[in-house]
Amino acid sequence: MEINEMKKMTYRDAIRLGMTEEMRRDDDVIFLGEDIGLYGGAFGLSEGMLDEFGEARVMDTPITEAAIVGTAVGAAATGLRPVCEMMFMDFVTMGMDALVNQGAKMHYMFGGQAAVPMVLRLPAGSGSGAGAQHSQSLEAWLCHVPGLKVVTPSTPAQAKGLIKAAIRDNNPVCFIEHKMLYKMEGLVPVDDEFTIEIGKTFIERPGKDVTIVTYGTLLHKAIEAAEFLAEEGIEVEIINPVTLYPMDMKPIVESVIKTGRLIVAHEASKTGGVGGEIVARVVESEAFDYLNAPIIRLGGLDVPIPYNKELEAAVVPQRNDFVHGVYRLLNRE
């Protein structure tokens, strides 16, 4: 097999492939969640996995998020490597004690005893009319908890490489997958040893005029904006942290030193969002002296996600918000 051999597949299939490869590789990896077996997962992500791995490893649970997360923590601390799925990221609120008070802290508060190698898969984001309790992007909550790792893939290749790295990691990893990306197609490395390093920030598109830091669906809107702006001779550098916590700031700081202009963007509510943390770290760094303009923070409106399609779209930043942001930073408006 060619190491660089690629196959076209969806983001959803890439996550499934990554999980499947890891379950074939390591018998300690088990998968638990609601309706993941015969039903194949609420989003069809685990179709076929029950057939391959059986009920002992693909475990349908009752509707019991607190017990799913707690069971994963307890199993991880005693020798398994559980992957568990919250049907929607919003439901992680029901499992927060086990995640925040138990899993995230065990290794530290027990003085280095007990590793908690688990993955919590969290389908997030708006854009499907699912309303206020099925559309949230709660990553900032998780990024506030030392001991957790928080990652989010934005492409099929990242989805495969990152879920594999998350399963191999010896810590609780919150794997946030955007529901609106499930059908996105892209080239994915076939190599079953392909992983994406957790804790490493990636430059998605090089440029010299403005730095945009973003992830998830907004990464694609930023790329569209960059392509549009390129026609006008404006070169936008797009950076995708991939690991939201703990974040590798070096490429971001270096980029801002180069461009002097920064836009941070995410779908999650702006107040208390991850973007604010990125901005704070940039202004604390040596990049502060290189800033040529105020920083722009694009984020979701501070409202619950509404149901109506137009209202829902109005909550999150769009392609033109990036375009206008770049114009503003370059004094072209």
Partner 1 sequence: MIELSEEILLRMYYKMNQARFFEEKVEDLFEKGLIYETTYLSKGEEATGVVSCLALEKGDLTSLTHRGHSQAIGFGLDVNMMMAELLGKSTGYCKGKGGSLHIADVENGNIGANGIVGGGFTLSCGAALTQKYKKTGKVVLCFAGDGATNEGSFHEALNLASVWKLPIVFLIENNLYGMSMPVSKHMNIENISDRSASYNIPGLTIDGTDFLEIYDVMTKSLRYARAGRGPVLVEAKTYRYNGHSSSDAQVYRNKEEVQKWQKKDPLIRFVNYLHENRVFTDKQIQTIEDEAKTSIEHAVEFAMESPEPEITTVLEDIYA
| Touching partner 1, residues 42-101 (CB under 8 A) | 56, 59, 61-62, 64, 66-67, 69-80, 82, 97-98, 101
As a whole number of angstroms, the distance between CA 188 and CA 190 comes to 6
Which of 21, 34, 65, 237 is labelled catalytic?
65
As a whole number of angstroms, the distance between CA 252 and CA 202 comes to 9
Q: How far is the CB of 246 from partner 1 (least distance, A)?
A: 8
Q: How far is the CB of 141 from partner 1 (least distance, A)?
A: 18
Q: How far is the CB of 111 from partner 1 (least distance, A)?
A: 4
**Residue whose C-alpha is closest to residue 225's, from 265, 259, 177:** 265
Which is nearer to partner 1, 31 or 182 (by Cβ)?
A: 31
Q: How far is the CB of 184 from partner 1 (least distance, A)?
A: 31
Residue 111 backbone phi and psi in degrees, to 5: 70, 35
Which is nearer to partner 1, 82 or 275 (by Cβ)?
A: 82
Q: Is 134 among the catalytic positions?
A: yes
Which is nearer to partner 1, 59 or 166 (by Cβ)?
A: 59
Q: How far is the CB of 249 from partner 1 (least distance, A)?
A: 17
What is the total count of residues that contact partner 1 (CB under 8 A)? 42
Which one of residues 34, 46, 91, 102 is an interface residue with partner 1 (CB under 8 A)? Answer: 102
Q: What is the dihedral of CA 250, 253, 255, 257, to 10 degrees?
A: -140
Map the chain to HEC letters.
CCCCCEEEEEHHHHHHHHHHHHHHHCCCEEEEECCCCCCCCCCCCCCCHHHHHCCCCEEECCCCHHHHHHHHHHHHHCCCEEEEECCCHHHHHHHHHHHHHHHCCHHHHCCCCCCCCCEEEEEECCCCCCCCCCCCCCHHHHCCCCCCEEECCCCHHHHHHHHHHHHHCCCCEEEEEEHHHCCCEEEEECCCCCCCCCCCCEEEECCCCEEEEECCHHHHHHHHHHHHHHCCCCCEEEEECCEEECCCCHHHHHHHHHHCCEEEEEEEECCCCHHHHHHHHHHHCHHHHHCCCCCEEEEECCCCCCCCHHHHHHHCCCHHHHHHHHHHHCCCC
| Touching partner 1, residues 1-40 (CB under 8 A) | 30
Q: How far is the CB of 186 from partner 1 (least distance, A)?
A: 30
Site string for partner 1, 106-145 (x = CB under 8 A): xxxxxxxxxxxx----------------------------
Which is nearer to partner 1, 157 or 174 (by Cβ)?
A: 174
Q: Is 178 among the catalytic positions?
A: no
Please check whether residue 99 is in contact with residue 65, taking contact to mean a CB–CB distance below 8 angstroms: no
Which is nearer to partner 1, 64 or 133 (by Cβ)?
A: 64
Position 233 contacts partner 1 (CB under 8 A): no
Q: How far is the CB of 314 from partner 1 (least distance, A)?
A: 36
Which is nearer to partner 1, 146 or 206 (by Cβ)?
A: 146
Q: Which stretch binds partner 1 (CB under 8 A): 7-15, 134-142, 146-154, 298-306?
A: 146-154
Positions in the binding site for partner 1 (CB under 8 A) = 30, 56, 59, 61-62, 64, 66-67, 69-80, 82, 97-98, 101-102, 106-117, 146-147, 149, 170-171
Report, as residue numbers or ranges, the catalytic residues: 65, 134
